[in-house]
Amino acid sequence: MNRKSRISRREFIAGAAGAAALFTPSAIASPLVVPEVNRGLHLTIIHLSGGNDGINTLVPYSSRDYYECRPTLALHGDELVKVSGEYAFNSALKEVAQLFRNGMVAAFPNTGCRDGLTMSHERASEIWRTGKPNSIDCDDWFAPASKHVSLITLDGFDTHSEQKSQHQAALRRLSLLIDKIARQSTADDLILVYSEFGRSRLENEMGGTDHGGNGLMFAVGRGVSGGIYSDEIDFRQMYKTLAQKFQASHKFKSAELFPALSSFNTLNFC
Q: Residue 78: count other Cβ atoms within 10 Å of its Cβ.
A: 7
- Compute CA 148 distance to the chain's CA centroid, rounded to the nearest angstrom: 18
- Looking at 102-222, list the stretches that DSSP marks H as alpha helix, in order from N- to C-terminal side: 121-130, 163-183
Burial 134-172 (b: 16+ CB within 10 A, else e): eeeeeebbbbbbbebbbbbbbbbbbbbeebbebbbebbb
Q: What is the CA radius of gyration of the chain?
A: 17
pTM for the structure as a whole: 0.84
Q: Which residues pair with 57 in a beta bridge?
A: none
pLDDT value of residue 253:
60
Check residues 121 and 31 and name the one with the higher pLDDT.
121
Summarised one tens digit per residue, pLDDT across range 69-112 is: 999 999 999 999 999 999 999 999 999 999 999 999 999 999 99
Give the architecture (CATH level 2) of 11-257.
Answer: 3-Layer(aba) Sandwich (3.40)
Element (H, E) at 6: none
Check residues 4 and 239 and name the one with the higher pLDDT.
239
Q: 199-203 and 189-195 as β-strands: parallel, antiparallel, unpaired? A: unpaired
* Separation of alpha carbons 194 and 214, rounded Å: 11
pLDDT value of residue 262:
67
Indicate the domain borders of the chain: 11-257
What is the arithmetic mean of pLDDT over 19-43?
48
Summarised one tens digit per residue, pLDDT across range 113-167 is: 988 778 889 898 898 888 888 877 777 877 777 889 999 999 999 999 999 999 9
